[in-house]
Structure 1
Amino acid sequence: MTTARPRTRIQQKNTSAIMEAALDVFSQYGFRGATLDQIAQAAGLSKPNLLYYFPSKEAIHVELLSGLMDTWLDPLRDLDADGDPVTELLAYVTRKLEMSRDLPRESRLFANDILQGAPTIHDGLSQELKPLVDEKAKVIQGWIEAGKIAPVDPYHLMFSIWSLTQHYADFDVQVRTVLGPDVTDPHKGAQEYLTQLFTKLLKP
């Protein structure tokens, strides 16, 4: 059995450059519209050099989305069944909105794959996302049955949180156009609105 050699510093640097460039290109053009030439140019590498690290566009895309799945699920994993229900759910809303602000390219990358039928992350959705959502839906249902929050459908509650937070990343241009140039950070207003909205919705 052979052990893979650790990457050299230059290999690590080039791999990081490729990942960063691919994130830009894929989030802007989608998988189908992106090309290896675009990624190589954005990474400051030749195409043959890029292919030394990744054999195909598909391999780069899979690498990006595989790493993204854990990032996307971490806030939901942090939902504490023993915590105060409203506090826990509002913290989840806040984390998702912060991700929308801080990781807009990642959000669009994820959304693009979903819109194409999830060809890259379908296994992650079924094997990682669904079991976690089922687990947290039971937690929310338990809070409802204990009278700690208002009766809501746990799954549609999570869908609402996802759509109302990720909108600010996936439709950033639309949001900023509608709000106008005086609003430099739409997330502050979004945080206040969503806190008010979900507090009223969840209040028993």
Structure 2
Amino acid sequence: MSTSRPQTRIQKKNKAAILEAALSVFSRHGFRGATLDQIANEAGLSKPNLLYYFPSKVSMHQTLLSNLLHRWLDPLIAIDPEGEPVEEVLAYVLRKLEMARLFPRESRLFANEIVQGAPNFMDQIEGELKVLVDEKAALFTSWMETGSLAKSDPYHLIFSIWATTQHYADYDAQVRIILRPQEDTHFADAAIYLETLFRRMLTPVPGLK
């Protein structure tokens, strides 16, 4: 679709509806399992109308991933180098858990892409995401060297935070079947558990190097 003219209200509405439908379909079926017909049907639009806004399934998928990346990076960006190290990392853990609660479809979209080898997202992973992770890993290392944070591998620390928080989105059905929570009450329990777990891991032990 040409971007030379400002979009009308109807065009903006249709484009938003398509992306919402694409997110729903991709998060359920993955990129390979999703079809344009499924997305068009969920958006309530004809397939030709769909293709007027997005020329292919790939373009929709890449748009969603691009939008998601900025949302996904914000909690990591928010770690304050001037803050108290243990509390800053714990706050990051809780922000990631809250994202799992609020944006489960987006988390599954990202997970599905990574499982497939990131064919539509490799540039962003090698670029903006890696740069930010390297930056925060260096920050964590500096905190560990000053004794403000218990020593561990900073990259695996970040990976473990991702694994323990995004699990509640990516494996939502399994979690709910096992716990049978009332709506999202299990997230409060998860927050208490994860804060306790990571606080014990991150808090330096006096005299231990």
Q: Common fold, TM-score beyond 0.5? A: yes
Q: Distance in 2 between matches of 1:201 and 1:142?
A: 17
The residue correspondences of 1:161-176 to structure 2 (distance < 5 A) are 161-176=161-176
Residue 181 of structure 1: CA displacement?
Answer: 4.7
- Return 2-11 or 17-26, whichever deviates more: 2-11
Q: In the alignment, what sits opposite 1:121? A: 121
Q: In the alignment, what sits opposite 1:131? A: 131
Q: Distance in 1 between matches of 2:34 and 2:102?
A: 23
Query: Unaligned 5+ residue runs, structure 2?
Result: 205-209
Change (3 A) 1:196 1:120: same
Change (3 A) 1:106 1:182: closer
Q: In the alignment, what sits opposite 1:71? A: 71
Q: Distance in 2 between matches of 1:15 and 1:106?
A: 17
Q: Distance in 2 between matches of 1:13 and 1:92?
A: 34
Q: Distance in 2 between matches of 1:145 and 1:184?
A: 39
* TM-score computed with the length of structure 1 as normaliser: 0.97
Alpha-carbon RMSD? 1.3
Q: Deviations over 1:76-121 (max 9, x none)?
A: 0111111000110011001100000000000000000000000011
Q: In the alignment, what sits opposite 1:179? A: 179
Q: Distance in 2 between matches of 1:55 and 1:149?
A: 49
**1:102 is the counterpart of 2:102:** yes
Q: In the alignment, what sits opposite 2:160? A: 160
Q: Distance in 1 between matches of 2:194 and 2:181?
A: 22
Q: Distance in 2 between matches of 1:99 and 1:169?
A: 9
Residue 185 of structure 1: CA displacement?
Answer: 2.0
Q: Deviations over 1:36-82 (max 9, x none)?
A: 00000100100011111111111111111011111111110111111
The residue correspondences of 1:29-108 to structure 2 (distance < 5 A) are 29-108=29-108
SS in 2 for 1:120: coil
Aligned length: 203
Change (3 A) 1:78 1:184: closer
Q: Distance in 1 between matches of 2:6 and 2:180?
A: 50
* TM-score computed with the length of structure 2 as normaliser: 0.94
Q: Distance in 2 between matches of 1:3 and 1:47?
A: 20
The residue type paired with residue 102 of structure 1 is L
Q: Deviations over 1:141-177 (max 9, x none)?
A: 1101111111111000000000000000000111111
Q: Distance in 1 between matches of 2:90 and 2:182?
A: 27
Runs of at least 4 residues of structure 1 off by over 4 A? 181-184
Q: Distance in 1 between matches of 2:169 and 2:196?
A: 20
Q: In the alignment, what sits opposite 2:18? A: 18
**1:141 is the counterpart of 2:119:** no
Q: Distance in 1 between matches of 2:191 and 2:169?
A: 14
**1:191 is the counterpart of 2:183:** no
Q: Distance in 1 between matches of 2:33 and 2:75?
A: 31
Residue 182 of structure 1: CA displacement?
Answer: 5.5
